[in-house]
Structure 1
């Protein structure tokens, strides 16, 4: 009997892996295992998703789990090219029972064939590979962090990111790693920007003379000096850039890089459980600020300083002597729940509104003129307020109405109309990029042959560098397009119906839910709300996430539909 196999693989592009090459060798290993038993008929390959993500949070793995439920799935077993790529930690023990339940075999090269559900040895082997996968990822993180810290502290190397206001990036020569240098990678360093460096120096001296942070922002705005966001719009698209803000001035005053030393480790990635009640959902990564004592400073001067150490320290002392922290007394701040935390925006300036507690009620406010210099006469009220309990009943009623059982058909039609994808165009672009990558590889082979035949080495190196850059750019575009294509695959009517049915059951409890629970529901629905104070109206958009189903029903892992909009 010929067995029909589905192939699953995964590649992460964070460490510059070639998705096509990784897919090919994983698929080759899988074929070597199953070619005498059957043939591959379908493929599921995740690109750019960490191994630490559970299967239900990887697009292609999710699609595979959904296919297992279909009796007409078209394949009898699944083969994996490398277990460390597919399973991390305890993911095998959480995933294989699903294969066993639906009668789909799982083949792994390290086992030499299909996994036997009754074999303790197979369970032990797969558990070891999950642990090895987790250990490998942890070792990579430790090595990368240690290496970057040493490069910043000992070498004073610029490790990427936006240059601070007052500096610009210049070329610092080829990358010291030969492989990266061969790909055209180069180092960069900070040098003084002749237009903005004097502005930074002036900000420090004005503050030491007694001028306040907001007064400095007003002066610079009135004089027409571009703010950091206005100066570099490409790197600051999330900022309006129409005026200097207090936060921009304060950030400059507290940045130790202006003393000429490289600083690394201000922030760190922190992984926290997505749901403490269901650890199988895995972690989500959040950026956390490190204490100033934990920052790593370069031993020597790494770039031209704008202010000296004495000036910088004097500014820090003045900053520390002002505000509530100057008393050095711990101020107990009551934590209040906000249902729309991070979801509500001001329609006048498009900035996120902040939660504030007044008269024992939750409010949201936008104080744009209080944060940005008003010398340019901003057309914005001094404060915009919205009470939470004025919005919650109307919002919950709208959500319950949209996902009510008697409106399922109209909701399905709206979602289906909104999720039309340019699949044909994407396929043509993918084909063109693959042909371009193949052409680059052929050119490199010809260059290698020319070099072996005695051609000028420097001339061939120049040609090869250009082709390598062209190939790397095409591969990056190809990976991005393939990943986007998988994310935007249209849902079937059955999948949409499951989502709507699940949401209908979820939304029935909104009126009785606590603000904390409501906030989580709204986040899972991916709500974005924009408040227009002139018309007293809130525009609401929702794009339900796959994890909504995963939290409330057993049919999770659906692709999210396009937004539904309401007032």
Structure 2
């Protein structure tokens, strides 16, 4: 006789509550009660106090308004760690601008959270990443948040520039030979180090070269400003430092929003020169003598090498510019960060003729295949813009109408099958429905085509390489208008980087024998 196993009745397992984490950036202003930490705690706690399906795990709050960099937000980092540890099912935040003001970071972390099975809800924009169609909206809103952050950055920059012009801005970096007064924030002379500064100027005026000065200071065991050995770069900067005569030149360097920091200011931004902002270590007469000596030493010793690669050739290992050397009429290029520095770059040297062969080969290939390459890029961009246009409210309504018409057509088919309507009646109504669907589809297809700046530049590139004939004039046009930079990498490759991130690679060994 077959045995029957009796399984005792058990209570139905209750569904676990969704574990919610709230992320916010709170104000550091004590008078700002709306955005204070206590207000945020009350707000988010109230949302879930009586919820039967969700429970608030924790509130993660970073102080201040600066959100351009995720690295500066410790609480955001803690939130991500808890998400990775499986402690959270859902994240809620006020808006995308609170979550991230950088579109790239915003999408990166949202994708990571989606991969972990965690959804994010943005209250202000009413965007929930649980809905698959939201990523395009997140990109747009992230862009708006980035614009908002740029506006704040511009306002901060304007405040600093006003302080520079009025002479009220304090020095963030203290030059060697000075200290900062804790009470006033002004520069005061450090007697011990000021003696070294004066000695460097005296040695240089006395005829000792920069390299020899560095060697002398190192032999005497005198600590350098950088903490490493004295070198030509450090000495040269000190001899050009206007702060040693009591003046201040503001904005020698500048940084672009979300771009490279501390770029040399060659006139892109306004410079502010203020006299007598602090006590001088060096007299103006001695400073002028040093400048005169430097001017004489910088007199041209030969004809300057003119090359299309100058200022565009970059080291792929350390990021410095490549410099040229002409030994026995054999012009070559090497990384500029290799002379008189403690840890020189050892990236490869490349011959000038090799660069020319590789550049011409790249131009020839794009002349032959450019139409297909650029055409594909342009087509994909247009397809993306088309998708964006189709994501508008109007397009959504049109697609909804099409779906309803198709559903009506399907119902008519069922009625015909069950003989509830005559074939003639069915054909007439289906004919009318198909006509309406065709009209709505044409309406979607006729949405205005937008040409963004990237598409226009790609079309310009396609035209440049289509008209390329191999002449020196054509090569000059490509170098001046299409090539942004050329990167030499230690694996023996040359990367030609064109406008808008397009990159083409040539191997050096292919052209070494030419």
TM-score (norm 1): 0.44
**More relative contact order in 1 or in 2 (CA 8 Å, sep 6+)?**
1
Name the larger-Rg structure. Answer: 2
TM-score (norm 2): 0.48
